[in-house]
Amino acid sequence: MSVHPDISICIASYRRPEGLARLLESLQRQKTPADLRVEILVVDNDPDAAPASLPGVRMLHEPRRNIAHARNRAVDAARGTWLAFIDDDEEAEEGWLAAYWEIAARLEADGFFGPVLPRLAPPPGSRGKRWLGVGDFYARPRHESGTPVGSGEVRTSNAVVRRALFGTRRFDPAYGRSGGSDTELFTRMLDSGARFLFCDEARVVETVPVERQRLGWLTRRAFRGGVVTTRIESARRPRRKPWSAARAACALALFGTLLPLSLLAGRAAATRIWLRVCIQAGHLWSAAGGGFEEYA
């Protein structure tokens, strides 16, 4: 009789061979209890990919180019009691899985989410200090371990969720091109009564490539975030859609007014206000029925 793993690590990957290699190396360095059974699944979402095999890894192929389909392929194939999610541009610290395993044994919850620490790739030949600091634009909220996690902070970039919680639930392919299928699914789980907690000891590091260290990329990300957030919230609470649109319009006017004044405080301060403008514009655009394809 085959013994099922305790944790299935689910990775959706698309044309990031170097990032995937770094991630898999970090998973091989995990310091875990001797009796913890782990399997690693990689779903290649490149339609043109050739069949591949890697030692100690279950390689799967999802030819439909849509990250939601890739994530669902991993969920369908996983055999673990818990499903761990991590992105192919991240690396797990040595105690990542052990931290999740320890808190799952100590606290009752349906899932746990951990911090993603940004690491900016250095521009070729660059010298001096960047104006785009890590703390300003790439850091994500962190909490004390055991803190409840709400819909605004649930994503597959660093998470462990009970396999049983999925049941017939899957990532919605309608969000495959815009992004947000992970937030949408985990929000549905929260709405049905799931309990998610934060685990600050389960840390991963995300490499931010040079092409993402630009105002244009930050602008697109902020606008997309507003679009997707409002889309999810409108589906959850349709009657509040007019109120959400009015609130976004007021916030857009406020931050638009503050933008010229923020220039006096420097480029980074002005960028923070500009990104708030973009988020509110995304909210308003989505409330008006507009969409946005980040992964077209």
> Which has the minimum average pLDDT: 163-167, 243-247, 271-275?
243-247
**What proportion of the chain, given as a percentage, has pLDDT over 70?**
94
Phi–psi pair at 160, nearest 5 degrees: -135, 125
How big is the CA angle at 206 (ends 200 and 210), to the nearest 5 degrees?
A: 150
The confidence score (pLDDT) of residue 263 equals 86
What pLDDT is recorded for position 289?
87
Tell me the C-alpha to C-alpha distance, in Å, between residue 158 and each of 51, 87, 139. 27, 7, 14
What's the rounded Cα separation, in Å, for the pair 272 and 209?
A: 20
E strands present in the chain: 7-13, 38-44, 58-61, 82-86, 90-92, 111-113, 116-120, 158-162, 196-198, 204-208
Which range (45-49, 74-78, 220-224) has the least confidence? 45-49
Domains in the chain: boundaries:
7-212, 215-287
Q: Kindly report, residue by residue over 225-270, the tens digit of the pLDDT.
A: 999 999 999 988 888 777 788 888 999 999 989 999 888 888 888 9
Q: How confident is the model at residue 128 (pLDDT cuts 50, 70, 90)?
A: very low
pLDDT tens for 131-144 read 555 557 888 899 99
Q: How far apart are CA 13 and CA 36, in angstroms?
A: 25
Q: Does domain 7-212 have CATH number 3.90.550.10?
A: yes
Distance CA 172, CA 169 (A): 9
Q: Which of 277, 291, 284, 210 is nearest to 247 (CA)?
A: 284
pLDDT for residue 293 is more than 50: yes
pLDDT of residue 1: 41
- In a 3-state reduction of DSSP, which class is residue 28? helix
237 vs 154 pLDDT, higher one: 154
Q: What mean pLDDT comes out for the span 71-98?
A: 97
Q: Report strand pairing: 111-113 vs 158-162.
A: antiparallel
Which pair of tokens denotes residue 84? Answer: 């761990």
pLDDT at residue 240 in the model: 77
Question: How high is the pLDDT of residue 5?
Answer: 94
Amino acid at 78: A
Mapping DSSP to helix (H, G, I), strand (E, B) and coil, where does residue 193 land?
A: coil
Burial of residue 136 (number of CB atoms within 10 Å: 0-12, 13-18, 19+): middle
- pLDDT value at 100 more than 90: yes
Model pLDDT for residues 15-70, shown as the tens digit of each residue: 999 999 999 999 999 999 999 999 999 999 999 887 677 888 999 999 999 999 99
Question: Average of pLDDT values for 108-126?
Answer: 88
Say yes or no to pLDDT of 2 above 60. Answer: no
Instruction: Look at residue 278 and tell me whether its pLDDT is greater than 90.
Output: yes
